[in-house]
A and B are shown apart, each in its own frame.
Chain A
Amino acid sequence: MSLAAGHSQSAIPGARFMDPTVLARIGNLDLVARAVVDGFINGMHKAPYFGASVDFAEHRGYVPGDDIRRVDWKLWARTDRYYVKEYEAESNSNFSVLLDVSKSMNYGSGGITKLDYARILTACLTNLVHHQRDRVGLVTFDNDVVSFVPSSAKHMDVVLHTLENVTAGRPGSLKLPLQKLAEHFGRRGVLVVISDFYEEPDAVIDAIAPLRFRGNDLIVFHVLDKAELEFGFSDASAFEDLETGEQMPVVPDAFRKEYQSLVRAHTDALQQRFLANRVDYTVLDTSKPLDHALYRYLSSRLRMMKVR
C-alpha cells in the first residue's frame, strides 16, 4: 500500500516546527503546544489579535455599583462626568474543546493518527487561548461523554493531562454526547468540535446545532487522514471498519474516484450545512501542518469579533 507521500510545506515562517509527524514524536503536549503557538506567534508578529484582550475597548457611563477603580479619572477631569473604562480583557470567555475519541480517530496512514493530530491541535488551541486569559476546558466523547474538564483559567494543566491520557477505544456517535453537552454549556463561550464526522451530514448538524442554541460560538474541525481523503491504496484487500469490525473486499483502483467524490460530497454537504448554521467548519488533513488550523481558528475569531 502506498500513499502519495510528501507534506506540502507551509509558506508561513516557522511552520516547519509544526509538522504534525515531528510533533507527534515529541510526546509532551505542553511542550508541543508551546512550540507550536510560540512558533506560530513568532511568525505572525503583526497579528492584530495578540494582546487584544487587554486593550481598551470603550467607555460607558458610570452606574451605581460599578467599581470606582474602573472610573476613568482623566476623562472625568476633562468632562466632569464619570465614565468607566471597559477592556477586552474583561470579556474572557469559556473555551472548550469537544474532542471525538471514537475508535475511527485512531487511524493514521502516515506517522500520526487523527487522534494524535487532534490532541496536538487541542493542546495548541488551548495553549493559545490560555495566553489570552480565556478559560479552557475539554470534553472527550465517543458514543458518550468520556471525560469532562470544566472551563477554567486554572485548568490548562488538567486539560493537557487529560489529553495525554486519552485513548480511542469505542465506536463513536455524535448525537447522545453532544445532546448532553448542549444542555451543559449554558454560558456563552467558544466551543471547538474536533471529529472525523463519520455520520450523515444531517445527523451531524442535528447533533451539533444545539450547541449553538445558547449563544456559543462554534468552530468545527473535521480531521481526516490523507488516505481518507485520497484513498491512495493500490492492492485489493479486505477493508475492515475500525469501529464495527465489518470486513469488505475492496479493489482500490476501482473504488478511488467514486470514493473521492463521495468524500468531497460529504465535506461539501457539511460545509454547506454548517455555513447555514453559522458554524465555522474546517477540514484538516493530518498530513498538513497545524498552522492551517490555528490560522483558521484565529480568522474565525476575528470574524466573529467584527460581527460583534
Chain B
Amino acid sequence: MAFLAPLFFLGLAALAVPVLIHLTQREKKMVQQFPSLMFVRRIPYQTVRRRKIRDLALLMVRLAALLLIIAAFARPFLWRPDAAITIGPGAREVVVLLDQSYSMAYGDRWDRAKAAARDAINKLGAADKGSVVLFSSGADIALRSTAERDRLIASFSTVTTSPGATRYGPALKVAGSILAESPLPRREVILISDFQRNGWRGEEGSRLPTGTTVTPVMVGGPADKPDAAVTSVSLARSTFSDQERMTVTAAVANRTDTPVTADTLSLEIGGRGVQTQPLTIAPNGSASIVFAPFTVPSRNMRLSVRAGNDALPTDNAFYFVVSPATPVRIIVVDSGTKAGAGLYLTRALSIGDAPRFETVLRQPANVSDDDLRRASVVLLNDVDVTTGLGRRLGRFVQDGGGLFVAAGPRATWPQEADVLPATLSQPIDRSRGESGRVGALEYTHPVFEVFRAPRSGDFSSARFYAYRSVTAAPMSQVLARFDAGTPALVERKLGSGRVLLWASTLDLSWSDLPLKPVFLPFIQRSMIHLANYSEPAPWRTVGQVFDPAAAGAKSQASGRLALTPSGKRMPLEDEGSQSQVLELAEQGFYEIRGQKANSDVTVVASNVDPAESDLTALDPREIVAAATGGTVANGQSAASDVPLTPDAQERSQRLWWYLLCAGIVLLGTDTLFSNWLSKT
C-alpha cells in the first residue's frame, strides 16, 4: 500500500478532536465524589454498563470515519510492480479530433477524413480507449473514452460537415480535458483535418497534458478544383418613381489554383431566381457582380446570391434579408410666428437616406395623438408649451419616443410636467463683447461621437449671441457646455425614451450654428439617437448569437419560437418565460415568430464564414508543437519503456473513492447512532 499524497496524514491530528470532545464532555458531567465505589461496583446495573460501551463504540465510529476520510485524501493505492504488465505498456487513451468544418466538404476530404478516423480507431488495442471529438468553430464530444470500437466508428459514420469554420483551439482543449481524466498511461491525440491556416490563431492556451502524443493526419491536398465563394454583398438603395429600389453587388472569390469559368451567379428572391449573371474568376482572384436594381415592396425579403455547383458548394450561396428603408418620423413643432424659423432645421433633416427623415410640421395646438403615435421624435423649435401638451409629450417620451427642445426666447415649459432635463431661466445676452461659444463636448456620447476624431467638425467656430441659462436636473447629463460653463445640451432618460434640451435656437436669431458644417450631422445624430434608430443587419455569420430582444424583433408575444433553415422549431423562451438568445448554427434563413398566426415575423440570414473558403493550409507541426509544449512527436510513443507511474496506478484503482464513501456512510451512521443514544 502506498499513498499519492501522504502529507494529508497530518490530518490524523484531527483524530484527537473526537477524543477531546469526549473528554471535555466527561469533564462537564456532574461528578459526585464518594469515598469508595466498592459497593456501587457490585451492583449489576446493565443499562449503565451498556451505555458506556455504546459511547465507546460511538467514539470508535467517529474515529474510523475521520480516518477513512483522511486516508481517502491521501489517495492510497496498492503498489503493484507488475501493474504495467496487467494494463499493458501500450494502453492508450486516444482522442480522435475530426475536423467537421465546411471546408472539409471540398472534394473528397470528408470521406478521407472519416476513413482516417476509422483507421485510427481500428488500430486501438484491447486495453486502449478512444474518444471521438467533432469540431469546427466549436467542439462536441461524439463519444467519450470507450473501448468499443464499433460505437466509436458509428459516432461519426453518418455525420456530415457543418457550416462552421475551423477552430483548433476548442478541439484541443476538449481533448486535453479527456486526457487529463484518463487513467491510462499513454495519451494520444489524432488530429484529422485539412489544416487551414485560418483555423489556427496561435497557441490559444490549448496545451495538452504532459506526455501527450499528437498525430496529425492531413486530409487536404492541392486546391486543384475550382471553387467560387460568394463572400459578401453590398446593397445600394435608390428611389425610382416613388418606389424604393435596391441594387445588389455580390463579391465572389476564387481561392483555388484553378480558374472558374463558364459558371453563373444568380440572384434569388424568395427562393426563385430572378437574375443570372455569367461568372468567370481567375485563379486566386475575385469578382464583383452587379445585378439590376429591383423594387423592395415589403419587409423581410429573403434574397440570396448563388453560384453554380463546384468542389465546395457550401460557400456558393450567400443569404441576406432586405426591407424597405424605415424613415425616422419627426414632428417639428413650430409656432409659425417667425418666418424661416425652421428653414435650416427642415433642410438638415431632408438630406440623407441612411436613415431617411420624414418630417411633419405642426403648430403646438395642432399636435394630435395620432401624430405622436406615428412619430419617433418630437422637435420643439422654440415654442410655448401648454400644460396639456407637456403632459402628452411626457407620456410620449415614457413610451419610448424622443423629444428635442430648442429653447429660444419664446420657449416655455409647464411646471406640472416633469419632463425636461433642466429648468429654463432667463436668456443670457452675449451680443456685446465677445460672443459665446460651445466649449466642452461629451465626445463619448452617441450625438457627438462622430466629431471625436480630429478635424471631424468644430463646434467652437459657431458664435452664440444669446442663449438660455439652464440648470441641469439631478438625474440628467450635460453633453455640451458654453464657454461660460452653463449647459448647452442636456439629456435626460425618461421611461423608455430620451429628452434633449438645447439651450439656444436652431435658426440664425441667436447663433450662426445653422451655417456651420457641424449643424447637419449634429441635428441628424440627435434625431437618430432620440429615435433609437439602428439599421438592421442584412445577414449574420454562422456561430454568432442573435438576441431577438436586443435586435428589436417585433414578436414580443409569449411563446416566441425560431424556425431554423432545416425546418426545426426552437422555442426562444425558457420555463421562466425568460427570453433566450438564438445561436446561428445553420446556413440559411432563420424565422422568428410568435405562435399566433398574425404575429410579426423577423427573418435573420445566416451565412458561413467566408474565410473558411480559403483552403490555404499550414504546417501541422505548428499546431503539434504548440499543443505538446514544443516537442514535435514522431508518432512513435516511447511509453512502452515507461513503467506505470504511481499516479497512473492510483487513478486506475481509485481506492480513495471507496474510502470516502465508507467515511461518509460512517458519519451518517454516527449521526443516527448519536441521535438514538441521546434519546435513550
Contacts and interface: CB of A to CB of B under 8 A. Distances in A.
Contact of B51 (A105, A227, A241, A249): A249
A263 B119 CA distance: 94
Contacts of B32: 1, 233, 237-240, 250
A272 to B, nearest CB: 18
A198 interface: yes
Prevailing SS type, chain A contact patch: mixed
Interface string B37-53: 11111110101100110
A198 B40 CA distance: 12
A246 B39 contact: no
Size range of the interface on B? Answer: 20 to 34
Contacts of B36: 104, 196, 198, 241-243
Given A251-B48, A255-B43, A237 B31 contact: yes
A7 to B, nearest CB: 20
Interface string A45-67: 00000000000000000000000
Nearest to A114: B35
A206 interface: no
A254 B46 CA distance: 11
Contacts of A255: 40, 43, 45
B40 A239 contact: yes
A228 B43 contact: no
B337 interface: no
Residue with the highest number of chain B CB atoms closer than 10 Å, among A114, A248, A250, A266: A248
A256 B48 CA distance: 15
A240 B48 contact: no
A148 interface: no
Contact of A258 (B31, B33, B43): B43
Interface in A166-189: none
Interface string B314-327: 00000000000000
A227 B47 CA distance: 24
Nearest to A265: B39
Contacts of B48: 248-251
Contact of B38 (A114, A198, A235, A254): A198
A239 B31 CA distance: 6
Contact of B37 (A1, A114, A248, A254): A248
Contacts of B38: 198
B634 to A, nearest CB: 76
B37 A251 contact: no
B339 interface: no
Contact of B35 (A225, A246, A248, A250): A225
The 8 A-B pairs of least Cβ separation, nearest first, read: A104-B35, A198-B36, A237-B30, A262-B39, A107-B35, A241-B37, A258-B43, A239-B34
Given A105-B35, A107-B35, 16 more contacts: A114-B35, A198-B36, A198-B38, A238-B29, A239-B32, A240-B34, A241-B37, A242-B36, A246-B37, A247-B31, A248-B40, A249-B48, A251-B45, A255-B43, A262-B39, A262-B43
21 contacts: A104-B36, A105-B35, A198-B36, A198-B38, A225-B35, A228-B34, A228-B35, A233-B32, A238-B29, A239-B31, A239-B33, A240-B34, A241-B35, A242-B33, A242-B36, A247-B31, A248-B40, A249-B48, A254-B45, A255-B45, A263-B39
